[in-house]
Amino acid sequence: MVRLQSPAELEELRKHMLAKRDTKKPCITICSGTGCRAYASEKVSTAFEEEIKKQGLDNTIDIKTTGCHGFCEKGPLVVILPGEICYVQVKPTDVAQIISQTIGESKILDQLLYTDPVTGEKAVHESEIPFYKNQTRLVFGNNSKIDPTNIDDYIVLGGYSALSKALFEMTPEEIIAEVKDSGLRGRGGGGFPTGRKWEECRHAPGDIKYVIVNADEGDPGAYMDRSLLEGNPHSVLEGLIIGAYTIGSHVGYIYVREEYPLAVENVFIALSQAEKYGFLGTDILGSGFDFSIKVHRGAGAFVSGESSALMTALEGRVGEPRPKYIHTVISGIWDKPSTLNNVETWANVPLIINKGAAWYASIGTEGSKGTKIFSLVGKVNNTGLVEVPMGTSLRDIIYTIGGGIPKGKKFKAVQTGGPSGGCIPESLIDSPVDFEELSALGSMMGSGGMIVMDEDTCMVDTARYFLDFLSDESCGKCTPCREGIDQMLAILTNITEGKGQDGDIELLEEIAEVTKNASLCALGQTAANPVLSTLRYFRDEYEAHILEKRCPAGVCKALISYYIQPDKCQACLICYRNCPVGAITGAKKQIHVIDQNTCIKCGICFDVCPQRFSAVEKISGRPVPPPLPLEARVIKKKKSKGKK
């Protein structure tokens, strides 16, 4: 690799690379994001390598392991270029067939194609799958085309052209104006206008300034930052370098979780490659601008995702937030002006510089521009990463892209914004998703987690779960967050255990309000959201728990009992054999009965009872009928219907 000295050299290199690439040569791309790796995509790629070697096709077929494609539900994903044939759930045993038939004879293997569960149609190309078809993949799109460990792939797709444009054709003021006009807002949760943040930091007094990438993504079920950093690290680096040039910073930090080993690895590779080409270090592209990036690995505290806590952690101390009445753009790490942005925010910057603010501002709603990546998880058919324009309705995301709720269950609520977000009920599913709308609904954008819940979810238990998470993760510095969350958790636990009392709801609301208003950092200020939003939309469930001692969804163990309906039981002995505590009495031709005192409510009998009988019933809020006397339990053999 040669260190590039000018934008012209970069363009020449790009041309040279493009000329070298044979677009007609078959290329097998295998997704190796963390999701697909969990499905053993590495074995698939080794199988491809071995098979190609075995057949002596080394020179005629290329193999590329790419970043996350986003459709994690169907991993490992394999896309074969140039035809863009997409195979899902590929196993190492399918490899030989793919090479001999798809590549050798241009035949498409039907059994590996994606089948639409509703229409039963097969989709040959990635772009025909409804999950991808309805997305707008601006930031995330290149993930599937790039080998994250090879900077050349990024350069071929126009990489670092935004950097050279920013360095040579624009002044920092022009860049700030461009970012401001684009309407880009922070993707980490707060939604602060990025251009304004940069401007304040640029004009803040002081010579030493810092730029930081916040890759401390800790929300349960959210992984868009990880996938971006794993799959396309250079887009983040390019945004960061442009930001540094704009603000006048010469040192940048990437704060990435140690729990993301692949992201850490790929970032280090990307940094060393960018340095070799001269996108980092001294005199970047011959512009005279110096900039270097350091990687700081987080030690695993959720609160360190909060900007001031992250900066404290970067300084080498315990990651605890500090008062931000003086903004971090004025006094951040080591009291120097610092600009901290989320991974996704930085990755949006090269797009804006390349395509212009007007283009970017044309996407999205009035207050929220551009696209947003959501991680769609929970009770939804198509789990994965979804990038849609701001203002797309929740229904489109969950039903059109997500494919609806599995097993024909009913949708109940969606939790947006991670543990401190709120639950949005079915009645509001047509609301457009943007910063203002979600806040108005009592939730928040957060970093973009979306947990879908079906009718079998108890909302009180959900609120309890999130508060349990937050009470573990609260740093404990300020009183309302430390003590308030713990008290709310105690009340919620009582309610789910059937010990709820009159007045609990009011007390919850009172504590929640103080936690929201008086906490030191955003973790505490939003910690009450799960409670407040479920109280707002599902108050009846709370009341059922407290007043009727009934759990409408049948989740809270203390409030439910399992009961075998005597008229439905066929004495098949399946539940009898599977009960782990021997609480079921029964025999052949004798109706089974659960001993309520021994039962631990594990629900196994409910799950194993054959669907055609459905004899086991969940009872909540009313007493369990007394068991039949032993004599009455005998099943008289019915006349068989089959013979006439």
- Residue ranges binding other proteins (CB under 8 A): 301, 318, 322-323, 325-326, 471-480, 482-487, 490-491, 507, 510-511, 514, 517-520
Q: Are the beta carbons of 423 and 443 closer than 8 angstroms?
A: yes
CA 548 and chain centroid, separation: 37
C-beta closer to other proteins: residue 393 or 479? 479
CB of 307 to other proteins, least distance (A): 16
CB of 513 to other proteins, least distance (A): 8
C-beta closer to other proteins: residue 77 or 512? 512
CB of 512 to other proteins, least distance (A): 10
What are the CA-CA distances from residue 433 to residues 131, 291, 397 (Å)? 18, 37, 9
CB of 200 to other proteins, least distance (A): 16
| 352 token code pair | 């804006």
C-beta closer to other proteins: residue 406 or 476? 476
Q: Are strands 251-257 and 210-215 parallel, antiparallel or unpaired?
A: parallel
Look-up of token digits 């599913």? 429
C-beta closer to other proteins: residue 352 or 478? 478
CB of 141 to other proteins, least distance (A): 39
What's the first-to-final CA gap in the chain, in angstroms? 85
| AA identity, residue 209 | K
What is the C-alpha separation between 56 and 50, in angstroms, rounded?
10
Beta bridge partners of 299: none
CB of 465 to other proteins, least distance (A): 16
What is the C-alpha separation between 17 and 247, in angstroms, rounded?
32
Q: Other CB atoms closer than 10 Å to residue 367's CB: what's the count?
A: 14
Buried b (16+ CB within 10 A) or exposed e, 336-355: bbbbbbbbbbbbbbbbbbbe
Q: Are the beta carbons of 298 and 283 closer than 8 angstroms?
A: no
C-beta closer to other proteins: residue 487 or 578? 487
C-beta closer to other proteins: residue 401 or 463? 463
What is the C-alpha separation between 460 and 468, in angstroms, rounded?
12
CB of 490 to other proteins, least distance (A): 5
Q: Are strands 584-587 and 590-594 parallel, antiparallel or unpaired?
A: antiparallel
C-beta closer to other proteins: residue 480 or 627? 480
Residue 45 C-beta-side C-alpha neighbours within 13 Å: 23
C-beta closer to other proteins: residue 378 or 480? 480
CB of 240 to other proteins, least distance (A): 30
CB of 321 to other proteins, least distance (A): 10
C-beta closer to other proteins: residue 18 or 490? 490
CA 553 and chain centroid, separation: 26
